[in-house]
Chains A and B, each alone.
Chain A
């Protein structure tokens, strides 16, 4: 896990994106760089209890997180954080995770 989430940001107007975009839908600009986002707020949450083709599946919590700067992402939840909670973001490879600060 690395701290923060590697997201993307339009250098011209500041709109934050996740996943990556190649043109900015807000201003039409194409200067889109990366930005490390530290946290966000959990909006809603679910527990994935069953997945097609998987035996011995352990339930996995997944949340919608409104990240600082404005994008909504899907993140795994690694502690007892829930809807309304402020969370700290981290990343494993390209997958985002959230937990209480």
Chain B
């Protein structure tokens, strides 16, 4: 059987209506993610990373182009695609365990199996002692870990993570990075992780995609062909990091010359990166 989780984003454009005028947020985004690939996405704030994940999750179907998972067109949310939102979005009236359990409401498991899965995933994010706490009793980082547990509990074939570790301290972040990596390796799931941390993107990704803003588009893509487990301090990773950083800075530097009156956009820089796939 072919491994599941092949994601194709074909020529996707997305506009929002803001104060009566159309704002182009994603401009012909083309992206292919292989089954079991760990793809990380970096890009300036507002370049459409969350929007892209929402489209893939099926929460917003008002876009041009096509998104397909294993050849099947995405038209609505599905349990085979999990999303961890940029903010935790826990229900304040439910405990940690109840919040995680909601992810399994329609999973078709037995009560006992659900309970086991919930406890396992709470343990995974290190919150067993807090399973009966309410969200307002958690710190921001703890709440985000609950959200990760809720996103994982269904064991989706494709997991979309929107800056899931942004609110964590360096130690917890490193631990959860390794946990994510472990889960990804054990489950062979396809992961798309958005982050603003280039180091994280390079450490975790098989491939790092750099997005450019206004309109959001893919500016560059870097393969990180390093075996795992990886050494955070290795020179090879550092080299990729600096290429990604340069590409990212170019997309932001281009913004400085971007005139609001719709003068020709400095696309050239971004196009150079799109063709020159950095390889290590």
Q: Do A and B come from one complex?
A: no
Interface residues of B, Cβ cutoff 8 Å to A: none
Interface residues of A, Cβ cutoff 8 Å to B: none
